[in-house]
Amino acid sequence: MKGTYLAEFQEIVLLTILVLGENAYGVTIQQEIKSRTKRKISRGALHTALTRLNEKGFIRSEMGGAEAVRGGRRKRYYSVTIKGKHALWDTREIREQLWNAIPDFSI
């Protein structure tokens, strides 16, 4: 399953994109991650993650929605592909299996 491995940060980004639904682009992803996970990420780090996810085929993107605040520039909207969803699901399964296999977990 090489190449379909899902890194931790990339997983977060994917989930965030799903959370945002139709409105997932650079700024919104950044803000959502920041508010939910308290992690402040730079646009650059996000760009790298998005590039990797795109290379792996987990997300796709398209341009749309120009706005004045952006100086008339369009945004790039991201959405998760089926492959991406599969990868998320597999990751979740593995986690749950591991959790269930723990004999006695107490905090």
Partner 1 sequence: MLPNTKPPIWALRFFYWFCHPDLQEELVGDLEENFYYNLEERGHAFANREFYCEVLLLFRPSVIKPLRFPNFFKISPDMLKHYFKVALRNLVRQKSYSLINISGMAIGLAIVMLIALFVRKELSYDTFHEKADSIYRLTHIYSFVHGPWGPTMVADYPEVLDASRVSWTGKLKTRLEDGQTFFENFHLAEPNFFDFFTYSFIEGDKNTALDQPDALVLTESIAIKYFGTTKALGKTVRVRNMAGHDSLLLKVTGVMEDVPENSHVHFDQLASFQLVKTGSWSSLLDDWYQDWVITYLLLDKNADYRALNDKMPAFFERHTGEVGGRVTESLQPLLDIRLHSSHLRRDVEVQGDINHVRIFAATAILILIIACFNFMNLATARAVRRAKEVGIRKVVGALRRQLLWQFLGESFLLTMISVLLALGITKLILPYFQDFLAISIQPLPGDFGWILSSLLGLTVVVSLLAGGYPALILSQFRPMYTLKTKMDGGKNSTLFRKGLVVMQFGISTILIIGTIVVFKQMKYMKNKSLGYDIEQVLFMNYGQGMMEDFDKVKGALEQNPNVLSIANTTDIMGTVAYMWRFRFDGEHEQPHGDNLPQFMVGENFIETLDIEILEGRSFRKGYAPDTAGFILNESMVADAIARFGEKWRNPIGLNLDFLVTRDGEWQVQKSGPVIGVVKNFHFRSLQHAIQPLIIHYQPDWGGRIVLRISPQDIPGTLAFLEEKWQEWGRERPFHYQFLDERFDENYQAEENFSSILFAFCILAVFIACLGLFGLASFTAEQYVKEIGIRKILGASWLDITGIFLRAFLQPVVLAFFLAIPIGYLAMNKWLENFAYRINIDASTFVFAGILAILIALITISYRTLSAAKRNPVEALRYE
For partner 1, the binding residues (CB under 8 A) are: 25-27, 30, 42-45, 47-48, 51, 63, 67-71, 73-76
Say which residue the tokens 């992803």 belong to.
29
**Within a 13 Å sphere around the CA of 6, how many CA atoms are in the beta-carbon half?**
22
Q: Report the nearest approach of partner 1 to the CB of residue 10 (Å).
A: 14
Q: Report the nearest approach of partner 1 to the CB of residue 73 (Å).
A: 4
Q: Of 25 and 87, which has the nearer Cβ to partner 1?
A: 25
| Residue 18 dihedral angles phi and psi, to the nearest 5° | -65, -40
Helices (H), strands (E): how many in the chain? 4, 2
Q: Of 69 and 102, which has the nearer Cβ to partner 1?
A: 69
Q: Report the nearest approach of partner 1 to the CB of residue 52 (Å).
A: 9
Q: Of 55 and 93, which has the nearer Cβ to partner 1?
A: 55
Say which residue the tokens 């120009």 belong to.
66
What stretch of H or E contains 76? strand 75-80
